[in-house]
């Protein structure tokens, strides 16, 4: 069975991001779906649709909830994860 990792980025009305990554037990992860919707309910539905279409299961969920703000703008961990996922 295909295993997925789901990600959610709460951003308010019209700005709630979601993504689904396929985990093939090694890097890089494969992006299989992304989008921006208006609510958590819509984001969950979108992720469920991707999962059902691929007959897989969600093995992990990540929710963007920063515990700090960097006065210079970006967070180093975000840049590192984007680099890993895009390779």
pLDDT at 12: 72
Say what the pLDDT of residue 14 is: 79
Alpha-carbon distance of 49 to 43, in angstroms, equals: 10
**What pLDDT is recorded for position 82?**
73
Rounded Cα distance between 22 and 3, Å, is: 6
The pLDDT score that the predictor gives to residue 20 is: 96
**H helix or E strand, kind and range, residue 12:** none
Give the chain's residues under pLDDT 70.
Answer: 66-75, 77-78, 87
Q: How far is CA 72 from CA 10, 16, 76, 78, 86, in A?
A: 22, 24, 11, 14, 24
């Amino acid at each position: 069975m295909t295993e997925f990792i789901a990600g959610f980025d709460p951003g308010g009305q019209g700005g709630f991001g979601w993504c689904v990554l396929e985990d093939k037990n090694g890097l890089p992860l494969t992006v299989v779906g992304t989008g921006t919707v208006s609510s958590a309910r819509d984001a969950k539905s979108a992720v469920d649709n991707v999962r059902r279409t691929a007959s897989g299961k969600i093995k992990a969920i990540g929710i963007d909830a920063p515990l700090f703000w960097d006065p210079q703008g970006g967070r180093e961990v975000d840049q590192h994860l984007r680099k890993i996922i895009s390779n």
